[in-house]
Amino acid sequence: MVKHIVQFLTSLKLTVACLAVSMVLVFIGTLAQVDEGLYTAQERYFKSFIIYLEPAEADWRFPVFPGGYLVGVVLLINLLAAHGKRFKITKKKLGIFMIHAGLILLLVGQLFTDLLSRESALEFEEGQSKNYSEDFRKNELVLIDKSAPDSDKIISIPESRLRNGSLIEDSNLPFNIKVHDYWSNSDISGTEKPDSVKTDATQGPAKDFFVLPMPPVTEMNRRDLPSAVIELFDGDQSIGTWLTSAVLKPQTVSHEGTDYEIVLRFQRYYEPFSLTLLKASHDKYKGTELPKNFSSRVRIQNQETEEDREVLIYMNHPLRYGGLTFFQFQMAADEAMQRAGMIPTSTLQVVRNPTWLTPYLACIMVGLGLVVQFMMHLLGFLKKQRNRPKAQSPRSPNKTKAGKHSPSSEEQSGKSTTSATS
């Protein structure tokens, strides 16, 4: 039994099966992006163990295909098992070994990247300083107590806790929050529109507004804008009901003599340093609308290290600082805007990825391995060609021989490499 399992886990057939499954997976995962958008498709097909069939209206789901994680894990086990069982490093197998070790590093590295990396955006106007970036997808409901003179107290409630009808109680909160309604993507308007909803908000400047629920966005360059209707309670006593939304400004709630700002906003990540946008430049090729370069001149100020310097961030030249990488992402700074008197803005993509070096190492290993392996083959082939007597060149066929040929009985020409992996 154990022998069978070991044989199965180390077999080349399993490798081939995994590769075939991953082909199908990558293909359907790519096509699915047209309808589902890159993010959803990525989560559903590549960052999952099982892909389920789940019709939009149904409350059941049915597993149909292995997901990216499952294939990756099986492939990893297969690789490790095969190497553990029958691999000895010899000169002949050095290349193969390096390739597979590199692949293992790549797979493991990507798994850690998925687990540990975080992407956010830092959007600022020229002259503006910021010490935080905002998540691309996640949102938070925030209460800000501004009563202290030199610092604000911020209490953040992650979006995942905002579910219809849920009650949020916490000792840090000055009051309890009941979520009446929550829309993951929405628009707000002052007038009624088809499909828009009148909320039961009783307080705040937005109490008469309408919420227009929207389907989740699929485009890469847009994001969902959630809205929620929340009721605040002092114990069992209702203070009032507010409409909060990512499209609305903070609203003030007074409670027991303290003013709180309450807002539903993009989740923020604070850093111990600040960036100031000094200049945003959007260059175009003369006579066209084609962008030639986007660049942001930025000042870094870090009170801890007393650092204060300027740096230029532009296409293909990110800034790596404080464990984060800042990439030039978007920009609104062209001539038309400047003529209209608007302040140029720049958006940096901020990535925290502690394992960013692993693909580099993996690539070097695999690349070298491939070169070593194929060079050995090529040299062997050339040597054979040179040693082959002229008379046996294929263009002087011995016609009586031709009849004996049958491809199925032919000696495997890939034999020399078979030995390398088995």
State the CB neighbour count (10 A cutoff) for residue 207: 16
Q: In what order do the strands lie in the sheet with 186-189?
A: 186-189, 210-213, 197-198
Which DSSP state fits 195?
A: T
Draw the binding track, 324-343, toward another protein (x: CB under 8 A; -: no contact).
-x-x----------------
Q: Give the integer Cα–Cα distance in Å for 75 and 14.
A: 8
Instruction: Give 305 or 416: the residue with its C-beta nearer to another protein.
Output: 416
Instruction: Give 241 or 347: the residue with its C-beta nearer to another protein.
Output: 347
Contacts of 265 (CB under 8 A, 6+ apart): 134, 139, 140, 142, 246
Instruction: Give 165 or 215: the residue with its C-beta nearer to another protein.
Output: 215
Which residues in the 347-366 window bind another protein by CB under 8 A?
Answer: 349, 351, 353, 356, 359-360, 362-363, 366
Q: How far is the CB of 314 from another protein (least distance, A)?
A: 8
Draw the binding track, 14-33, toward another protein (x: CB under 8 A; -: no contact).
-xx--xx-xx--xx-xxx-x
Instruction: Give 93 or 207: the residue with its C-beta nearer to another protein.
Output: 93
Instruction: Give 387 or 406: the residue with its C-beta nearer to another protein.
Output: 406
Q: How far are the Cα atoms of 21, 65, 91 from residue 25, in angstroms, in the given order?
A: 6, 8, 36
Query: What angle in degrees, to the nearest 10, is found between the helix axes of 2-10 and 12-36?
Result: 60
Q: Give the integer Cα–Cα distance in Å for 261 and 238.
A: 18
Residue 393 binds another protein (CB under 8 A): yes
Which residues in the 401-420 window bind another protein by CB under 8 A?
Answer: 401-408, 410, 412-414, 417-418, 420
CB 6 within 8 A of CB 85: yes
Stretch that binds another protein, among 174-182, 208-216, 265-273, 375-383 (CB under 8 A): 375-383
Q: How far is the CB of 35 from another protein (least distance, A)?
A: 10
Which residues in the 220-239 window bind another protein by CB under 8 A?
Answer: 220
Q: Give the integer Cα–Cα distance in Å for 274 and 270.
A: 9
Residue 387 binds another protein (CB under 8 A): no
State the CB neighbour count (10 A cutoff) for residue 284: 13
Q: How far is the CB of 23 from another protein (least distance, A)?
A: 5
Which residues in the 45-74 window bind another protein by CB under 8 A?
Answer: 46
Which residues in the 170-209 window bind another protein by CB under 8 A?
Answer: none
Residue 164 binds another protein (CB under 8 A): no
Residue 395 tokens read as 């263009």
Length, in residues, of the chain: 422
Q: Give the integer Cα–Cα distance in Å for 106 and 223.
A: 30
Instruction: Give 40 or 196: the residue with its C-beta nearer to another protein.
Output: 40
Q: How far is the CB of 359 from another protein (least distance, A)?
A: 4
Q: How far is the CB of 71 from another protein (least distance, A)?
A: 10
Which residues in the 260-319 window bind another protein by CB under 8 A?
Answer: 284-288, 290-294, 315-318
Which residues in the 243-262 window bind another protein by CB under 8 A?
Answer: none
Instruction: Give 6 or 363: the residue with its C-beta nearer to another protein.
Output: 363
| 55: three-class secondary structure by DSSP | coil
Residue 91 binds another protein (CB under 8 A): no
Instruction: Give 95 or 226: the residue with its C-beta nearer to another protein.
Output: 95
Among 6, 12, 53, 361, which residue sits at the site for another protein (rule: CB under 8 A)?
12
**Number of residues near another protein (by CB under 8 A):** 81
Q: Give the integer Cα–Cα distance in Å for 379 and 381.
A: 5
Q: Give the integer Cα–Cα distance in Å for 310 and 298.
A: 6
Report the chain's terminal Cα–Cα distance, integer Å.
Answer: 21
Residue 110 binds another protein (CB under 8 A): yes
Residue 147 tokens read as 């009563």
CB 68 within 8 A of CB 45: yes
Q: Give the integer Cα–Cα distance in Å for 223 and 137.
A: 7
